[in-house]
């Protein structure tokens, strides 16, 4: 018997139950699994909605910037069946929505704001954050290893059933059924419904 694996399973189950019963989540779905190493602060949980069968891998960090404990307005929403890979970060100031069955690889960053740096005479850490925008990742999307989705203004929407390549940096919206890669991310493939297959974007 692998006692380390058994310990991890038990610790994760107990940790998930503790969060469900004692934290401030407005919605905490059935079958949720949150690894015991995840970083979710109690005041921040008031701004997070978790659908059914959500999975958070080891060392995932969910963060809501400037959220008062009494303000239970959801800022982060993870839809049913979302699976967030280890060491991934979701940091929200305004609104980040992952619709149902979004899947991320490890080390993915999703962030709807950035650090302010307008005053070169002040340390960046003391300047707060930008106004930012909102992010919606529609259902069935897959974000590859080390991918970054960041929105500094307006709305960023990644259409359903899209794929973001490893280490891609997404800073603008893409339509449904897109394959995007690179820095900044560019469209390289799309699904042609008439042909019923994936085709090159420049084709």
Q: Give CA–CA dist 71/91, Å, rounded.
A: 17
pLDDT for res 73 = 67
Q: Are strands 55-56 and 33-34 parallel, antiparallel or unpaired?
A: parallel
pLDDT confidence of residue 170:
98
Alpha carbon of 2 to those of 6, 37, 163: distances in Å? Answer: 6, 19, 35
What domains appear along the chain, each with residue ranges and CATH number? 3-200 (2.160.10.10)
Q: Within its chain, how far is the Cα of 170 from the centroid?
A: 13
Render pLDDT for 127-153 as a digit per residue (tens, 0 to 9): 888 889 999 999 999 999 999 999 999
pLDDT tens for 93-119 read 999 999 999 999 999 999 999 988 888
**How far is residue 105 CA from its own chain's centroid?**
11
pTM of the full structure: 0.92
Render pLDDT for 32-74 as a digit per residue (tens, 0 to 9).
Answer: 999 999 999 998 999 999 999 999 999 999 999 876 555 556 7
pLDDT number for residue 172: 97
């Amino acid at each position: 018997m692998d006692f380390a694996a058994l310990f991890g399973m038990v610790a994760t189950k107990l940790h998930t139950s503790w969060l469900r019963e004692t934290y401030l989540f407005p919605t905490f779905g059935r079958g949720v699994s949150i690894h015991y190493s995840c970083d979710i602060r109690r005041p921040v949980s008031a701004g997070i909605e978790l659908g059914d069968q959500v999975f958070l891998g080891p060392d995932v960090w969910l963060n809501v910037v400037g959220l008062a404990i009494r303000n239970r307005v959801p800022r982060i929403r993870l839809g049913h069946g979302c699976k967030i890979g280890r060491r991934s970060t979701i940091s929200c100031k305004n609104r980040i929505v992952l619709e149902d069955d979004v899947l991320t690889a490890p080390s993915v960053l999703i962030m709807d704001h950035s650090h302010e740096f307008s005053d070169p005479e002040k340390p960046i850490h003391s300047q707060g954050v930008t106004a930012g925008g909102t992010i919606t990742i529609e259902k069935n999307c897959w974000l590859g290893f080390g991918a970054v989705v960041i929105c500094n203004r307006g709305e960023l929407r990644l259409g359903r059933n899209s794929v973001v390549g490893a280490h891609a940096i997404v800073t603008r919206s893409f339509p449904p059924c897109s394959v995007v890669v690179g820095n900044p991310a560019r469209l390289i493939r799309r699904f042609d419904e008439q042909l019923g297959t994936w085709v090159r974007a420049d084709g």
